[in-house]
Amino acid sequence: MASSARLDFADFARRSRPASWTWFDVLVARGPISADGFANATHYTFEESKHVNVAPHHFPAFKDRLLHSDCEHLCPPWLPEVDLQDVAEWSGPPSKRIKLMASSLKRTSSSFIDPNKWRFPGFLAREAALRTGCRSIMASWKSYRSGIRAWANFMNFLYPRSDHFVVTTDMIIAVSNAFQMASTFKEYYGHVRFGVRLLGLSLETVEPTVQQVLRGCRKGRPGRRLHRLRRKEVKRLVYYCIDNDRPDIARFFILARVGLFRVASELLPLQLSGQEHLDPASVAWHSRVAFDHQGKQVSIHLRKRKCHPASDTVTRHCSCHDVPDLFCFYHTVKTQVRGKQPRQPIWNFNLSQLITFFKKALLACGLPENSGLHAFRRGMATDLVASGSPLSFILHAGGWRSSAFMRYITASGLDEREAVDFTIAESDSGEE
């Protein structure tokens, strides 16, 4: 075997890994791990069954390692594929635990320790904790995996002999040259930061450089036109949805506009009654919908919102007077939640499916293809300004709150349209 001094770090980490260990095992044992290996460990965490099915002998599932190590009590309660019978109970001093392990090994011949599956209890306890930590990125783990693999390519090209997660100022300066947008650089840096923190390392020395680069990217970025989907344009999109047998997405577009929602974080995860059957102090819910049928009013209570971390409520009245209104918020919500389970999202599509359909709809309706889903929110705010609505009403309706805006609101000659543009840019950056 070649000397480790002559190996690139990625090769050194790969050759150091035991044949029967996954990269997650290496991560738990604090062994040398490359960014590619860390990305594979992330993949293994969320799609363990695929690895186990391919090579069950070499890569035993976490539950199998718990069982063969007599550590069933360490099984995380959220692990979906685990169905452990006779979970071990342990109370009393450590000596009782040692006796329990000894008696279980003597009980049957099938209790023989399989070296490929057995682990030290402390090792398994650490793995359970790290798996729980990985759940913080459960909704976007594929993006993190992709970002960490991009970091691996960068390190293999410019710093092949360096540990991928011992990040230096020189590395940050070098990689920042690949980005023009502060938000993109910040996102990729966040992926690396997740890996560094999970490994128990620190980025304290490079944080000042990162913040300086982010400020520089923002200052040097040319202004870009923010597209707005006005009432007539949204109406065309709604009719396109109906013609293509997607009334659910038509309703989604209507609520995105009239409710001034941030689509990804507020509207898409909407629940009929997310708090039902949960402890009052629980945070494992997103929203709940309440109807006032006599007053023809609907209130959507969001457990948290970007500028209102405690909670916020979006309330709208029925806008149907003499004739039905296509954009009636009350009837749109009422139709969409009919027959839905309380704690499940009221929409049957995910963000990726929504964006794919949205882009096709924009193209078919002759609208700018680079319009984001945030264009509904900007368009509604613009229409409210044009209709003469007070600025305070617009900011309250959209849930905007910008301390920077408040410093300029009393400036003489400030145009309301400019004020709304400024507030959107300050409060909703990164919300596309």
**pLDDT values of the chain reduced to their tens digit, one per residue, 432 residues:** 444 456 799 999 999 888 777 888 888 888 899 999 999 888 888 877 665 554 444 567 777 777 777 777 777 766 654 444 444 454 555 554 455 455 554 444 444 566 667 778 888 888 888 888 888 888 788 889 999 999 999 999 999 999 999 999 999 989 988 887 788 888 899 999 999 999 989 888 899 989 888 888 776 555 566 788 999 999 999 999 999 999 999 999 999 999 999 898 899 999 999 988 888 778 889 999 999 988 899 999 999 887 777 788 999 999 998 788 999 999 999 999 999 999 999 999 999 999 999 999 999 999 988 888 988 988 888 888 788 777 777 777 777 765 444 433 334 334 555 555 655 555 555 554
Task: Report yes or no: 24 and 44 within 8 Å, Cβ to Cβ.
Answer: yes
Name residue, tokens 């577009």.
Answer: 253
Residues 6 or more apart from 225 whose CB is under 8 A from it?
A: none
| Count of CB atoms situated within 10 Å of the CB of 329 | 22
- Which superfamily is assigned to 231-427 in CATH? Intergrase catalytic core (1.10.443.10)
pLDDT of residue 245: 95
Task: Report yes or no: 167 and 203 within 8 Å, Cβ to Cβ.
Answer: yes
* Tokens, residue 132: 């729980």
In angstroms, the CA 426 to CA 419 distance is 11
What angle (nearest 5°) sits at the alpha carbon of residue 310, between those of residues 306 and 313? Answer: 75
In angstroms, the CA 367 to CA 228 distance is 10
Task: Report yes or no: 101 and 69 within 8 Å, Cβ to Cβ.
Answer: no
DSSP letters along 333-361, please? HHHHHTT--TTSBS-SS-HHHHHHHHHHH
* Tokens, residue 182: 């502060």
Parallel, antiparallel or unpaired: strands 312-317 and 287-292: unpaired
| Count of CB atoms situated within 10 Å of the CB of 140 | 13
In angstroms, the CA 428 to CA 306 distance is 9
Q: Strand, coil or helix: what is 155?
A: helix
* Tokens, residue 89: 């109970």
In angstroms, the CA 213 to CA 68 distance is 50
Rounded to two decimals, the pTM is 0.55
Tell me which amino acid residue 318 is: C
pLDDT of residue 64: 76
Task: Report yes or no: 40 and 79 within 8 Å, Cβ to Cβ.
Answer: no
Residues of the chain with CATH 1.10.443.10: 231-427
* Tokens, residue 32: 């040398």
* Tokens, residue 335: 């139709």
Residues 6 or more apart from 271 whose CB is under 8 A from it?
A: 285, 286, 287, 288, 289, 342, 343, 344, 345, 346
Task: Report yes or no: 75 and 84 within 8 Å, Cβ to Cβ.
Answer: yes
